[in-house]
Amino acid sequence: MVEIRGVDKWYSTFQVLKGCSLSVARGEVVVVCGPSGSGKSTLIKCVNALEPVNTGEVLIEGTSITDGKASLSKLRARVGMVFQHFELFPHMSVLENLCIGQEKVLKRKSEEARDKAMGLLARVGMTAHAGKYPLQLSGGQQQRIAIARALAMDPIAMLFDEPTSALDPEMITEVLDVMVSLAQEGMTMMVVTHEMGFARKVADRVVFMDRGEIVEDTPKARFFEDPQSDRAKAFLSKIL
């Protein structure tokens, strides 16, 4: 579903990604972790073409998105992205946030978009808040709306970049619960997170990055029980 092949990337003279290769199969959940500044956000942005790569390529369902030929708005509609800061449109109601992409990009009629939106609001437990504005909601509620908004586009895969790290502790579970149910329903997911409880529950593989490199890419059990690299061992000892 997602294939990253030998990607190098520089921010001017600083090499942020070094020979990164990674594939995510249909229905797989891959958790990406590693120290701050190791390139996790940059890697995930390359999968959505929010950042260009310098060398190597990224393929979505076998089609290159880095050869300059791909339609980026179509791609972004197909690969949902949820960020640390919820990035909802502040001047639009919850319902409008969920409908705008469906109407503008997917050309759905407003009634169809609304039905889809209401179904997703029910799914994330936010039906009662459809008419509110983002700033009237808690961080956990905003993040659930951000997930619902991404799902409204019928994505083939979902990317998450530290979706719970800006939340107060009591709101983390309500967001993780939505992500766990998505994973259990078979959504293809690439999740940057340090929530190792989430990783233990639903990840198929854990990828550990350090200083722009993918240092480990291992089945979950092995990552927790027997990390191969000293860098991953040191990281785990700090966060567990």
What does the binding site for Mg ion look like in residue numbers (CB under 5 A)? Answer: 41
Per CB under 6 A, contacts with ligand ADP among 6-25 are 11, 14, 16
State the minimum distance, in angstroms, from the CB of residue 14 to Mg ion: 15
In the bound state with ligand ADP, the residue whose beta carbon lies nearer, of 14 and 170, is 14
What are the residues facing 31 on neighbouring strands?
191, 206
**Is 89 near ligand ADP (CB under 6 A)?**
no
42 binds, among ligand ADP, Mg ion, none (CB under 5 to 8 A by kind): ligand ADP
CB of 92 to Mg ion, least distance (A): 26
Residue 164: name its binding partner from Mg ion, ligand ADP, none (Cβ under 5 to 8 Å by kind). Answer: none
d(CA 117, CA 240): 38
Pairwise CA distance, residues 240 & 124, whole Å: 29
Amino acid at the residue 184: Q
- Give the one entry of ligand ADP, Mg ion, none that residue 37 binds, where binding means its C-beta sits below a cut-off of 5 to 8 angstroms depending on kind: ligand ADP
Torsion 150-153-158-159 (CA) sign: negative
Residues 29, 56, 69: CA angle, nearest 5 degrees = 90
Helix/strand/coil for 75: helix
Task: Report the partner that residue 11 touches, choosing among Mg ion, ligand ADP, none (CB closer than 5 to 8 A by kind).
Answer: ligand ADP
14 contact partners, CB below 8 Å, separation of at least 6? none
- Tally Cβ neighbours within 10 Å of residue 113: 22
Selection from ligand ADP, Mg ion, none that 89 binds (CB < 5 to 8 A by kind) is: none
Residues binding ligand ADP: number (CB under 6 A) = 11
Q: How far is the CB of 38 from Mg ion (least distance, A)?
A: 8
Window 27-46: residues binding ligand ADP (CB under 6 A):
34, 36-42
- Cα–Cα distance between 222 and 105 in angstroms, integer? 41
Identify whether the C-beta of residue 1 lies closer than 8 Å to the C-beta of residue 75. no
Query: Min. distance of Cβ 22 from ligand ADP in angstroms?
Result: 14
The answer to whether the beta carbons of residues 8 and 42 sit under 8 Å apart is no
Q: How far apart are the first and last CA of the chain?
A: 31
Residue 39 Cβ vs ligand ADP, minimum distance, rounded to whole Å: 4
Task: Name the token pair of 217.
Answer: 């890419």
For residue 162, the minimal CB distance to Mg ion (Å) is 6
If the CB atoms of residues 34 and 134 are measured against ligand ADP, the closer one turns out to be: 34
Binding site for ligand ADP (CB under 6 A): 11, 14, 16, 34, 36-42
